[in-house]
Amino acid sequence: MIKLKQKWKNQRLWVKLTFMVLITVALTVSVLYLSLTNRIYEATQTQEEEQLLSIAEIVAAQPLVIQTLSNGATNPEVQTYANQITETYQLDFVVVMTMDRIRLTHPDPEKINAPFQGGDEEDALSGQETTSIAQGTLGQSLRAFVPVFNAENVEIGVVAIGIKTTTLASIAKKTMQPFSVSFAVSLLFGAAAAIFTAFQLKNQMYNLEPIEIARLLEERNAMLENTKDAILVTDKDNRVVLSNLEAKKLFQRDELDGQAIVGLPIQSLLPVAQDLQLLAGKDKTTDRIYHQDGVDYLLSTAPITVAKKVIGQIILMRDATELYLLTDQLFNAATYTTTLQTQSHDFLNKLHVIYGLADLEEYEELNDYLGKILEPEQEFSHRMIFLVKNPVIAGFLIGERSKFTEQNYPFMIEVYPDVPPTTDHTAVQCWINIIRFLDQFILENRLADDLQIHFGFWNDRLETVYELQLEPAMKERITDELHTPVISQLLKRVDGQLEIESNDRRIKISLKTAYRKEGN
């Protein structure tokens, strides 16, 4: 046993994978094959029982059989008839017996006029048709019993016909032959699939054995921990997934478990990291200067690519003091970094405010400040997701609000009733095109100061109402823009109606478009 374990442990990975997959396939197919064999045997037995009862009913209705049982004695004619039925339907025996269980026919002439054996004929002697498996003079057999009645509807005997269980097994075996071939083919395909899967998995592991992978991991950890440069590795969401000892010391997060840095957004450690974008599909390293705690660092970033997909990036921070002494080129790089920081001035201001409030422990003011930044956007998004069940429309409205807020315009929508989902994507797209055109016109002409929007679903139609205040000249212009051929064609495709009402300086634009509720 110990030798087998050692031998298994020393096997290559692809052998182990092949063996495990093959065992799984073999066990699965074998269980299915055995289950199918059992079901087919049961189905064959049921079918044979029904067929035996049908044949027995035919025999029981024969006048010759009725006359013989009425006389209570056998004769050559009824024996000949029983032999013909046996041969015609490929039975093992046809027995006609009296109410006293005396055989009047039998495949073995010596057993005629002898008592019937088996003990399973009792129900038939009581007038019931039955089937059973019992031991008789010919061995174990599947039997069917049908009572025989005379003209006065009085039971005068029983017809018993059957086949041996060996014959039944032979029939089931013939039925199973195609499935046996399929079973063998399935095992062959399973073996091929096992080998293919093993090699595919091995290829995905770069043909490395587990011990080789472990060694590479240890080598990588050793290089990371013993280098003098601070190294951070992030995922595609710019969260730190790995850091070395120098990085922990640099950010004063040198706890033994190393979990203080792992999982944090890279921006929380490096404010300049907002400019470190993943270089999708580019095998390229970028370098820049980063200043922290009075020290300049050469910040190098490079994408991490697996299977031609960028899954993260590696960031190296090297003390740039020695490089300053060797060349003045880094001065230009530092200037370039300052320029980039100036471009991100707005973001840094907000970040500095957050850092300052947190450092002063003014948590209530910090909460209010964050609420002013985040709450309106989140509230609007949550309301749209809750009231508008169509994700395409909800996402579009959230995007439109971003366009308005970028120009410091309010964009609030009253949604009533709720908008249900739909499968009519054409209607949704046409509605989006019309609303996008209208929003763009309002933004370009700076008309959004007093904008009110009402949106809802009524009678299988989307109803959208824009109310805003306009000068007379602008009213005519927006009316002309909304009656262009492009808008007219979109309205025609969705059976839409566009109405414009004007009152003093107030204008009301009502748009109604077809919108089939999902399930209608």
Q: Is the pLDDT of residue 346 over 60?
A: no
- The pLDDT tens digits of the residues spanning 357-371 come to 777 777 777 777 666
25: Cα separation from own chain's centroid: 23
Q: Lowest-pLDDT range, 184-193, 243-252, 324-333, 370-379? A: 324-333
pLDDT at 8: 53
pLDDT at 466: 92
pLDDT bucket at 427, cuts 50 / 70 / 90: confident
Q: Is the pLDDT of residue 343 over 50?
A: no
Dump the DSSP string for 178-235.
HHHHHHHHHHHHHHHHHHHHHHHHHHHTTT--HHHHHHHHHHHHHHHHH-SSEEEEEE
Dump the DSSP string for 383-434.
HHHHHB--HHHHHHHHHHHHHHHHTT----EEE-SPBPP-S-HHHHHHHHHH
- The pLDDT tens digits of the residues spanning 304-313 come to 887 778 888 8
pLDDT bucket at 328, cuts 50 / 70 / 90: very low
Which residues make Cβ contacts (< 8 Å) with residue 144, sequence separation at least 6? 49, 52, 53, 55, 56, 129, 130, 131, 160, 161, 162
Q: Count H helices, E strands: the chain?
A: 17, 14
* Phi, psi for residue 242 in degrees, rounded to 5: -160, 140
pLDDT at 274: 59
- The pLDDT tens digits of the residues spanning 186-244 come to 777 777 777 777 777 777 666 666 676 777 777 777 777 777 778 888 888 888 888 88
Nearest in space to 133 (alpha carbons), one of 104, 167, 163:
163
Q: What's the chain's average pLDDT?
A: 76
CA triplet 422, 424, 426: central angle to 5 degrees?
135
- The pLDDT tens digits of the residues spanning 33-65 come to 778 777 877 777 778 788 888 888 888 888 888
What is the token pair recorded at 56?
Answer: 């027995």
- The pLDDT tens digits of the residues spanning 450-508 come to 888 999 998 888 999 999 888 888 888 888 888 887 788 788 888 888 998 888 778 88
